[in-house]
């Protein structure tokens, strides 16, 4: 049986897609590149924002028409599956099975039941060992960086966030399991890993997250370690010290702020003030100047005033984030923020988002311009140049690099090379091979 997996969302979803692909491949199924070639299409979904949900239902509509033309099995997994569960069958009756985020290893059973003719197969249960997925089963995509889950779920209770519903409470992999997986990845040729979790720096799998970074960095042959995502309340001085001092930890930190207004942060139940967020950034000391910092912003949260948004803009300028991910507030089912009055016109929300993103673009360009003329190590992320003749690479600071290597030159995929930065834009750095 040929299968195709479509994935939306974060790195955790990407890695779930690799796990699901491995489970099907172990059953003798064959992965194909498109839904049109497949006999089984699995939609690996995200539900953190309404837009992501709309994309899933749009694809389900297309697959309904496809299913009328030929035999086709359709399954839904991921956060939307965990959130909606049986309600998915009511909105899209042509779905054959629904698989929750905490039941990934049940996929072969659900497929077998659907193949046997059972209708509306579903498992959205919580399995206590679901976070202990065997790495040997994972079917990894052809990428220069390997994803490694260290913790799943979140114990925070942000009023806008559906993650505690879709991913559950925190579960932590023992550090020995994490180290064994990283060693195996290095043996397979990977030189960079990204440690994943809804809140990685709350890690408690037998050591602290700072300790885990130190232990992973001792794996011989590993060059860079990244991690995402961090909660400011769990960002410690020890973690800052490792981030600054350990040369294998990439000089990049994503630390979501969400709002520059204490009043809005309180309504979000983020558990910190702006001053406390800035205090944690201060833990980085002089090392802050040597790394890139990105964040998240939610614009137009219920009750956000002009003064609240202006406070966000002031923090944006004060910190001068190298990059940010910003979105208009998206109400999610079952979250406490639904009880808050949300009467801000969409036109105002959109105008605020545009203003923030325009200013961020200026800050990102300024950040990128600081690289002009510098020689930096970058990792090759493609097997060949694109149509414009650039090789795509990535710096330790998570800067996208368009690298000129010269005609006929082959570069080593997944390896570090030296590059001299010659161009800076808000979106990428241009560089030439040294």
pLDDT digits (tens, 9 = 90+) for 8-24: 999 999 999 999 999 99
The pLDDT of residue 407 is above 90: no
Query: What's the rounded Cα separation, in Å, for the pair 170 and 41?
Result: 30
Mean pLDDT in the chain? 96
**CB-based contacts of 65: which residues, under 8 Å, 6+ apart?**
none
Query: What's the rounded Cα separation, in Å, for the pair 16 and 71?
Result: 26
Query: What's the rounded Cα separation, in Å, for the pair 403 and 167?
Result: 38
| Residue 225 near residue 193, CB atoms below 8 Å | yes
Q: What does CATH list as the number for 135-369? A: 3.80.30.20
CATH 3.40.50.12160 positions along the chain are 2-123
The pLDDT of residue 434 is above 90: yes
Question: Pairing mode, if any, of strands 400-404 and 429-433?
Answer: parallel
Query: What's the rounded Cα separation, in Å, for the pair 3 and 12?
Result: 21
**CB-based contacts of 133: which residues, under 8 Å, 6+ apart?**
19, 104, 105, 149
Cβ atoms within 10 Å of 250's Cβ, excluding its own: 23
pLDDT at position 128 is 83
CATH 2.40.50.140 positions along the chain are 375-433
SS3 372: coil
Q: Could you list the residues known to form a binding site for [4Fe-4S] cluster, using ranges.
A: 10, 46, 79, 154, 158, 161
The CATH number, out of the four listed (3.40.50.1000, 2.170.150.20, 2.60.40.10, 3.40.50.12160), of the domain defined by the range 2-123: 3.40.50.12160
Reported in sequence order, the residue ranges of 205-334 that DSSP labels E, i.e. its strands, are 224-228, 252-254, 292-299, 323-328
CATH 3.80.30.20 positions along the chain are 135-369
Query: What's the rounded Cα separation, in Å, for the pair 52 and 390?
Result: 31
**Distances in whole angstroms, Cα of residue 100 to Cα of each of 88, 275, 381:** 12, 38, 32
Which residues are bridge partners to 418 per DSSP? Answer: 377
Q: Tell the burial category of 413 from Cβ atoms under 10 Å away from its Cβ (0-12, 13-18, 19+).
A: middle
Confidence of residue 406 (pLDDT cuts 50, 70, 90): confident
The pLDDT of residue 197 is above 90: yes
pLDDT at position 150 is 97
Residue 213 main-chain phi, psi, to 5 deg: -60, -45
- Looking at residue 390, the DSSP 8-state letter turns out to be P
Cβ atoms within 10 Å of 190's Cβ, excluding its own: 20
Q: Could you list the residues known to form a binding site, using ranges.
A: 10, 46, 79, 154, 158, 161
pLDDT at position 317 is 98
Residue 286 has, within 13 A of its CA and on its CB side, a CA count of: 1
Nearest to 405 by CA among 387, 415, 424, 392: 392
Nearest to 369 by CA among 322, 327, 324, 328: 322
The pLDDT of residue 209 is above 90: yes
pLDDT at position 343 is 87
Alpha helix ranges (H) inside 188-236: 209-217
pLDDT tens digits, 92-118: 999 999 999 999 999 999 999 999 999
pLDDT at position 287 is 95
- The helix-helix angle for 209-217 and 237-245 (nearest 10°) equals 20
pTM to 2 decimal places: 0.95
pLDDT tens digits, 129-152: 888 999 999 999 999 999 999 999
- What strands, in cross-sheet order, belong to the sheet with 224-228? 146-149, 192-196, 224-228
In CATH terms, the fold of domain 375-433 is OB fold (Dihydrolipoamide Acetyltransferase, E2P) (2.40.50)
pLDDT tens digits, 243-299: 999 999 999 999 999 999 999 999 999 999 999 999 999 999 999 999 999 999 999
Query: What's the rounded Cα separation, in Å, for the pair 107 and 240?
Result: 39
Q: What's the whole-number mean pLDDT along residues 30-59?
A: 96
């Amino acid at each position: 049986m040929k299968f195709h997996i479509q994935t939306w969302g974060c790195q955790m979803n990407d890695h779930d897609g690799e796990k699901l692909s491995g489970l099907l491949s172990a059953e003798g199924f064959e992965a194909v590149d498109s839904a049109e070639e497949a006999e089984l299409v699995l939609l690996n979904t995200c539900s953190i924002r309404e837009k992501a949900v709309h994309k899933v239902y749009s694809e389900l509509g297309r697959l309904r028409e496809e299913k009328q033309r030929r035999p086709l099995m359709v399954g839904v997994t991921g956060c939307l599956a965990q959130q909606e569960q049986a309600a998915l069958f009511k909105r899209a009756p042509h779905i054959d099975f629904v698989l929750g985020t905490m039941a990934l290893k049940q996929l072969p059973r659900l497929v077998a039941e659907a193949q046997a003719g059972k209708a509306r197969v579903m498992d959205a249960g919580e399995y206590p060992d679901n976070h202990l997925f065997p790495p040997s089963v994972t079917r990894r995509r052809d990428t220069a960086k390997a994803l490694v889950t260290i913790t799943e779920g979140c114990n925070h209770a942000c009023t806008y966030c559906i993650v505690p519903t879709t991913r559950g409470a925190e579960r932590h992999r023992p550090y020995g399991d994490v180290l064994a997986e990283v060693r195996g990845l290095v043996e397979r040729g990977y030189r960079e890993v990204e440690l994943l979790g809804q809140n990685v720096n709350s890690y408690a799998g037998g050591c602290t997250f700072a300790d885990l970074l130190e232990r992973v960095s001792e794996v011989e042959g590993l060059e860079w370690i990244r991690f995402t995502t961090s909660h400011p309340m769990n960002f410690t001085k020890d973690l800052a010290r490792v981030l600054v001092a350990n040369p294998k930890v990439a000089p990049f930190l994503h630390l979501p702020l969400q709002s520059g207004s204490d009043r809005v942060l309180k309504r979000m139940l983020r558990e910190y003030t702006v001053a406390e967020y800035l205090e944690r950034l201060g833990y980085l000391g002089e090392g802050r100047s040597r790394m890139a910092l990105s964040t998240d912003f939610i614009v137009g949260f219920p009750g956000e005033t002009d003064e609240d948004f202006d406070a966000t803009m002031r923090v944006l300028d004060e910190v001068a984030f190298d990059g940010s991910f910003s979105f208009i507030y998206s109400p999610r089912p079952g979250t406490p923020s639904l009880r808050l009055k949300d009467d801000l016109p969409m036109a105002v929300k959109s105008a605020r988002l545009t203003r923030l993103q325009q200013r961020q673009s200026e800050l990102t360009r300024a950040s990128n311009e600081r690289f002009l003329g510098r020689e930096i190590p970058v990792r090759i992320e493609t097997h060949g140049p694109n149509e414009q003749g650039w090789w795509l690479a990535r710096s330790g600071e998570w800067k996208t690099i368009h690298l000129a290597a010269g005609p006929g030159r082959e570069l080593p995929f997944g390896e570090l090379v030296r590059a001299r930065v010659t161009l800076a834009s808000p979106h990428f750095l241009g560089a030439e091979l040294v």
